[in-house]
Chains A and B, each alone.
Chain A
Amino acid sequence: MKVPISWLKEYVEINLPIEELAYKLTLAGLEVEEIRYVGLPMLEEKQQATKISGFSWNPEEIVIGEIREVMPHPNADRLVLCRLDDGEQEHTVLTGAPNLFPYLEKGELDPPLKVAYAREGATIIDAYNETKDIMLTTLKRKKIRGVDSYSMACSERELGISEEHEGIILLDQDAPTGQALAEYMGDAVLDIAITPNIARAASILGVAREVAAITDEKLIPLTLETVTEGDPIKGRVSIEIKEPELNPRFVLGLIEDVEKKPSPYWVQRRLKLAGIRPIDCVVDATNYTMLEIGEPLHAFDYDVLLERAGGKPPSIITRRAKSGETLTTLDDIERKLHDFTVLVTDQSGPLSLAGVMGGADSEVGEKTRNVLLEGASWNYVNIRRTVSAQGLPSEAAYRFERGVHPAIASLGVQRCLEWMRKWTGGKVAQGLVDEYPLPPVDPKVKITPGDIQRWLGISLSAVEIGELLKKLDFEVIIKKDELVVNTPPHRLDIGQGMVGKADLVEEIARVYGYDQIPETNLADGLPLQVGNRALEMEDKIRDKLAGIGLQEIVTYRITSPEAELRVFPPDHNLPDQDYLEITNPISSDKTVMRRSLLASLLEVVEKNRRSRERIALFEIGLEFFPNGENKIPVDEKLKLAIALTGVRTHHSWQCADQDLMDFYDLKGLIEELLADLHIENVSYTTDTAPSYHPGKCARIEMDGKLLGFMGEIHPKVKENYKLAEAPLTVAILDMETLLNKVDDLFNVESIPDQPPVLEDLALVVDDDVPAQTVQSLILLAGGETLTEVSLFDVYRGEQLGEGKKSLAYSLVYQHPKKTLTDKEVAAIRESIVKRLEKELGAQLRSW
């Protein structure tokens, strides 16, 4: 809502600097997003910071001038010379403004044309500079086609009023020649963000009411000057409301013999400052009144309605649209109507989309002489649904969908008729036709000082509370320690009972001042200390992975099925996956909730592939799977994804290890992570999955339960992501399975007093025997005394024979109580070797 200060001042006295007013309004919930100066002097020192823009008019340099004569330029057809009086002396002013040409060579003008005159040396806006920011220019004396030029009559753009630069400003006749323009019509516009609960302030009067309350001023009441010279409206039109729930009130007024012409300049200027384009005095009057008091109005051409009714008094009917019904709105679009749309109709069909937009047939046009004016109130839900279904926001709908109190409908019609009479010279018909089947019940709310204490933590007496509420026009009756508060008939945001009480608490706090309420600390006892173990464990995993060199990433959870298919080799039978689909996607690449954290991860590897020689990433994130069995038909699964590719260590001047990371780097990392979480009984078995290299993929299980897969990404999948030769290994683990197993109350073993016995053991086995099998068997056969087994060499060679490999382990024997003798160690070793020989056909190679 753009509020020109000059307009606001008609309804409330303002005795503080604009910046301070803006700050107070902002604190009270009417956030002033910007102050745009249009002529008024700006403060030198910034007070309370708000975004400030615009331009001030120097009172010495920019004044009201009067053009007495418009003469041809001796050397240029497109320019004219004006004889202009600036209150001090006459000047010859040169201009090319098209709106002066009608006055060319008309001799002495009577009355003269009042204009905004910038004297020599004046600073104005450079209208020819196309940049977004305001560029200023200073008027200097120069010759234009042989004629001296040093000053000018300004356009709106040159003064920062609007973008209009087609002609110069022609002021109203009452403008006093010689007066500083800033004094006459200098302004500043507050741009206020209106939240839904404060919709009542979507008007100048509404904002004035708030200003009065928070600055302790009195509202200057609106005075209606009803002059009705026409015949009574009674009997010339009738109203029938089919569903009062949808249309609680409908008011009609009539004005005859209007002359359609431009509105006075001050009206046009205010409309422009408020962001509405002036059209003609009839349309402008409806817009002006809507901005002024908040009631949207609609003007019908009365003669069209008469004609449609065959010359009889038209009957206006409001009702829901029927299925299949259409209406061509005044933007010339034929609209198919829904059954929730409310229409204003007559006997022959729809006239307008109620509260949203008029129809083309009955709109006021060039030839309109008699205007039937509608002021109504509508159910906000239907307005909202119509606006969104038709994609048709409008100033009227903006207000109706936030709620307009039905009580102001008649005031709106009367006020608008008054403006039309003044600006068009028409005759207002006596009276109104007013159907008001469903007046709202303005809530009556009871509240006590105890409520204020309990909610706000401040103690106010009933009288003090009453005073605060009265500033906002609430009617207050104090009974002992209780206030009975009546909601004024211009607001719809106060509820009943407990809700109404809360609504009043907010109003009291706003007027009292949020900044005046002292800060306190919670005095309540501590809540139950339950922690959040899952999150704590997740964070532990994050810390571990970051600590061992991985970067955490967070990716979009909204993707497309096409993007996820890239994780499969192109020649793979592409699966037909069931997705959680977004009904209203924002773009074609974000249509479903992801099923594959892997796809997200690979996209990040792809994106960074050129900027890094080593990429090591992880993400802990959700995957989404439709599941009709659930009440909310989706499973949200938390997964951990890890990707490694590129060199093991960064290239440096010392030329470190430049080997590429492979399967075992990833495996080592997972082993370290699981060890850190004290997870045991993990097994890795050869397996296949479509995205993985067929020979380099493992299934990871914990106590026989699937934890996830790891492996090298299939070369064909790598190609999908344009990734180079280097192996890319990934692991996807299920977080729920993992977190369920984390043992954070693990036991610590005592440090043995006795020295351990260390020895190495090399065994030859068939090449296809998995190392994990050998190692598990060694541990099993070694019994409790064998405390550690680690593989330190894998060897294949001719001397071992085809299809054989040698695995060398270092073993640690340790008895908790005593020093082991050579003999005891030999016995254990022997049983290990025997067991391996028997079960795996292993041969002892050395020890």
Chain B
Amino acid sequence: MEGKLELIRREALSALELVDDEKSLENWQVKYLGRSSELMEIFKALGTLSKEEKPVVGRTANLVKVALETASGEKEILFNQRRINQDLEGEKIDVTLPGRRTISGSIHPTTQTLREIYRVFGDMGFQIYRSREVETDEYNFQLLNFPPHHPARDMQDTFFITSDKDRGDNPLLLRTHTSPGQIHAMLEHTRKYPEDPPPIRIILPGMCYRYEQITARSEIQFNQVEGLAVGKGITFGDLKGTLSNFARRMFGQEARTRFRASHFPFTEPSAEMDIGCFLCGGDGCSVCKGAGWLEILGCGMVHPTVLENGGFDPEVYSGFAFGMGSERITMTRHHIEDIRYFWANDLRFLDQF
């Protein structure tokens, strides 16, 4: 019996050497390991053997079976690899064909810029405060130190809203800036904390309106982001530091800023912040109109009258405020030449963001 097993092993292994495709491997498996193979016949016949022979033959038969299975298994792996290799050769694709795109939308560029502004000021502790768009002359101008007929009103041509009643010197209007929110925010705050109010640090985003001709450079509606910080011991130096930090976050760490004196009725001293033109580095180009500097925002120390109108004692509290147009910032960052693109909503423009 054992001799026969050895014979089967040798025959099978030498037959396996000749096997060189999957089909003949299958035949080989049937012949040497299949149900009616000689080896299996021996297993089946184990029962007829004597008690002494049975374990010995059984063990040998098992060893042969394992040897044959191992050997055929190796062949199988070999053939499998060979087949994959053959398949791979036929599976070449044109990698230059366009990819299958998922459909995705995008956020309007103005919203994207607003969010970046929120993030930068958010990091510096500023909270976001929003207020209404239809305002009164009182909040939009008077409480911000623009008395009726003040010449600075020329800088903010206003859309007025028709009212049923005669409102005298306090007509309804579309806010020309988000500054009325400064008054709302300060009054809410100082009414809530009449004794020793904690500091305010907010930004005020939102749509504003000006009576202007719509051209490549001017729009009747625009998003403004204002900022307001009120506390004890806030200085013009803090204003410069905060806004220069903002400029570096927004326009790159290399951004240079300059502050030049300007005029806004609700701040004193007032300033404009420019950044060095990042396209020409200050030599003058079409983007900065030869000036080398780009006007980014207006700012200043909150005027004592405005602090007082907001319920703060200007002898104790000080603060700064600033305001910028977010479309202008988007235009600067992306070299957009026509402000009318923003509300035209041509998908060929919006798709690029």
Contact = CB atoms under 8 A, between A and B. Distances in A.
Contacts of B270: 506
Interface stretch (A424-432, A582-590, A672-680, A812-820): A582-590
A583 B161 contact: yes
Interface string B331-347: 00000000000111111
Nearest to B132: A636
A622 B108 contact: no
Contacts of A517: 236-237, 240, 259
Contact of B261 (A196, A506, A616, A652): A506
A501 B315 CA distance: 11
A381 B149 contact: yes
Interface stretch (B17-25, B54-62, B200-208): B200-208
A28 B261 contact: yes
Interface stretch (A6-14, A48-56, A265-273): A48-56
Given A195-B262, A457-B236, A514-B259, A583 B162 contact: yes
Given A515-B259, A580-B161, A633-B163, A49 B209 contact: no
B241 interface: yes
A537 interface: no
Interface in B199-240: 199-202, 207, 209, 211-214, 220-221, 229, 231-238, 240
A510 B261 contact: yes
A509 B233 contact: no
Interface stretch (A286-294, A527-535, A560-568, A692-700): A527-535
B103 A649 contact: yes
Contacts of B303: 499, 502
A520 B261 CA distance: 18
B232 A524 contact: yes
B268 A506 contact: yes
A619 to B, nearest CB: 8
Contact of B211 (A31, A52, A584, A608): A584
B225 to A, nearest CB: 12
Looking at A456, A506, A634, A649, which has the most chain B CB atoms within 10 Å of its CB?
A: A506
B47 to A, nearest CB: 43
A80 B244 CA distance: 65
Looking at A545, A583, A622, the one whose CB has the most chain B CB atoms below 10 A away is A583
B229 A590 contact: no
B132 A555 contact: no
Nearest to A553: B345
A704 B110 CA distance: 35
B237 to A, nearest CB: 3
A380 B151 contact: yes
Nearest to A525: B199
A555 B343 contact: yes
Nearest to A382: B149
B210 to A, nearest CB: 10
A73 interface: no
A27 B159 CA distance: 32
Given A454-B233, A519-B240, A554 B108 contact: yes
Given A514-B260, A581-B161, A498 B314 contact: yes
A641 B207 CA distance: 18
Contacts of A514: 259-261, 269, 271
A545 B106 CA distance: 9
B116 interface: no
Given A522-B234, A527-B127, A632-B132, A549 B105 contact: yes
Given A195-B262, A545-B105, A616-B105, A555 B345 contact: yes
Contacts, number: 296
Interface in A542-598: 542-543, 545-558, 580-586, 590, 593
Interface residues of A, number: 106
**Most chain A CB within a 10 A radius of its CB, from B127, B342, B347:** B347
A192 to B, nearest CB: 13
B104 A31 contact: no
Given A506-B270, A624-B134, A586 B149 contact: no
Nearest to B315: A498
Contacts of B238: 457, 520-523
A412 to B, nearest CB: 21
B51 interface: no
B97 A653 contact: yes
Given A554-B345, A582-B161, A196 B263 contact: yes
A593 B124 CA distance: 36
Nearest to B290: A51
B229 A524 contact: yes
B75 to A, nearest CB: 40
Given A503-B268, A558-B209, A586-B214, A552 B108 contact: yes
A614 B202 CA distance: 40
A551 B237 contact: no
A650 interface: yes
Interface in B243-291: 244-245, 258-263, 268-272, 282-284, 288-291
A580 B293 CA distance: 41
Contacts of A582: 159-162, 174
B106 A552 contact: yes
Nearest to A510: B261
Contact of B151 (A401, A542, A649, A656): A401
Interface string A587-619: 000100100000000001001100110111110
Contacts of B258: 27, 515
A557 B347 contact: no
B71 interface: no
A557 B212 CA distance: 15
Interface string B72-108: 0000000000000000000000000110111111111
B100 A556 contact: no
A520 B237 CA distance: 5
B325 interface: no
Interface of A: 26-29, 31, 46, 48-52, 195-199, 380-381, 384-385, 401-402, 453-458, 498-499, 501-503, 505-506, 509-510, 514-515, 517-532, 534-535, 539, 542-543, 545-558, 580-586, 590, 593, 604, 607-608, 611-612, 614-618, 622, 624, 628, 632-634, 636, 649-650, 652-654, 656
28 contacts: A26-B260, A28-B260, A48-B292, A50-B291, A50-B292, A196-B263, A498-B315, A506-B269, A509-B269, A514-B261, A515-B258, A519-B241, A520-B240, A521-B242, A522-B231, A525-B198, A528-B127, A535-B130, A546-B104, A546-B106, A551-B105, A552-B106, A552-B107, A552-B108, A556-B343, A558-B159, A581-B161, A593-B161
Given A548-B105, A552-B111, A624-B133, 15 more contacts: A49-B290, A50-B292, A457-B237, A502-B268, A502-B301, A517-B240, A528-B198, A549-B104, A551-B108, A555-B345, A611-B346, A611-B348, A622-B133, A632-B134, A652-B101
